[in-house]
């Protein structure tokens, strides 16, 4: 068979194709290198964020929020940094889990320990997001800002009440002490949300006063109602349900009538 001679044009076209392939290969290598560097940069930034987290600062923030709520909530700004707020909530959830394990150390099991360490932080996160939504709703009614980040950070700063309330409920030695602790803690949480709505989200004070007065009355009504007794008892079943069981026995007891 006769072999065709390559023309000069074919040679030039072939060299161009080779050069184009080389360029594509080089660009592909660069893209891989860039993707690797971007992943490395992402993990480095995440590592820096974790190193910045100061656990002792969360404790000092809790005391500062408890004693000077107006000053603390005024200092909260929306800067796009959600990490500290989320870590704060998870830390308080883990602290609550540790307290629960200590109070039930005699009856705690391995499964109970693991479930407490997993569920308590999840409950803390759910409470935070729920209260953030409630706070935004109140801010909307009070003609304030609708900034979810600010709301989340404010509520995350109030979640120190979660482990604190758990301790208070479990040291209650009678139902009426439990009732008093429950009422005071719930009203103080309402007060903190009021301060956060007014100073963080810039809600109008007059409207906020009316809204939160109604909300506080609603909380008090729940506590003093018959159905609210179950709400209080669930906070410390050992004391609460013992009290209600004795009440049920008193109601069901029939007085003995002397026929003579």
Question: What digits encode the pLDDT tens for the residues 63-80?
Answer: 777 778 888 888 887 777
* Total tally of structural domains belonging to the chain: 1
Q: Which two tokens stand for residue 37?
A: 């560097």
Q: Which two tokens stand for residue 18?
A: 């080779």
Domain-embedded: residue 134: yes
Domain-embedded: residue 47: no
Domain-embedded: residue 82: yes
Render each residue's pLDDT in the chain as its tens digit; 260 residues: 444 554 555 545 656 665 665 666 566 555 545 554 554 554 455 445 444 556 667 677 777 777 788 888 888 877 777 778 888 888 888 888 888 888 877 677 778 788 888 888 899 999 999 999 999 999 999 998 898 888 998 898 888 888 889 899 988 888 999 999 999 999 999 999 999 999 888 889 999 999 999 999 999 999 998 778 888 888 888 887 777 677 666 666 545 445 44
Separation CA 49–CA 51 (nearest Å): 5
Whole-structure pTM over 0.85, yes or no? no
Domain-embedded: residue 71: yes
Among 216, 103, 113, smallest CA distance to 169 is for 103
Separation CA 245–CA 177 (nearest Å): 17
**Residue at token pair 């979640």:** 159
Domain-embedded: residue 91: yes
Cβ(153)–Cβ(128) below 8 Å: no
Domain-embedded: residue 141: yes
Q: Is 233 exposed, middle or buried (0-12, 13-18, 19+ CB in 10 A)?
A: buried
Q: H or E stretch including 150?
A: helix 148-158
182 Cβ neighbours under 8 A, 6+ residues apart: 169, 223, 231, 232, 235
Q: H or E stretch including 259?
A: none
Domain-embedded: residue 213: yes
Q: Which two tokens stand for residue 12?
A: 């030039």
Residue 154 domain boundaries: 56-243
Q: Which two tokens stand for residue 29?
A: 């290598």
**Residue at token pair 């044009």:** 9
Question: What digits encode the pLDDT tens for the residues 137-196?
Answer: 999 999 988 988 889 988 988 888 888 898 999 888 889 999 999 999 999 999 999 999
Domain-embedded: residue 14: no
């Amino acid at each position: 068979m006769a072999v065709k001679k390559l023309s000069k044009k074919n040679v030039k076209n072939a060299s161009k194709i080779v050069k184009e392939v080389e360029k594509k290969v080089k660009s592909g290598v660069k893209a891989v290198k860039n993707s690797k560097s971007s992943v490395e940069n992402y993990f480095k930034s995440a590592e820096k964020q974790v190193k910045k987290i100061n656990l002792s600062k969360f404790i000092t923030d809790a005391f500062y929020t408890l004693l000077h709520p107006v000053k603390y909530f005024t200092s909260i700004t929306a800067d796009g940094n959600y990490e500290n707020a989320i870590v704060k909530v998870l830390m308080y959830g883990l602290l609550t889990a540790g307290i629960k394990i200590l109070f039930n150390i005699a009856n705690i099991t391995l499964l109970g320990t693991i479930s407490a360490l997993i569920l308590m932080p999840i409950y803390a996160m759910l409470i935070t997001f729920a209260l953030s939504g409630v706070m935004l709703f109140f801010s909307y009614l009070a003609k304030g800002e609708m900034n979810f980040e600010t709301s989340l950070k404010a509520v995350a700063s109030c979640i120190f009440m979660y482990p604190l309330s758990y301790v208070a409920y479990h040291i209650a030695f009678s139902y009426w002490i439990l009732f008093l602790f429950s009422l005071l803690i719930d009203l103080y949480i309402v007060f903190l949300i009021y301060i956060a709505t007014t100073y963080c989200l810039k809600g109008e004070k007059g409207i906020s006063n009316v809204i939160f007065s109604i909300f506080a009355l609603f909380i008090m009504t729940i506590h003093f109602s018959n159905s609210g007794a179950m709400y209080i008892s669930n906070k410390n079943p050992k004391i609460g349900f013992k009290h209600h069981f004795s009440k049920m026995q008193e109601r069901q007891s029939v007085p003995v009538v002397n026929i003579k």
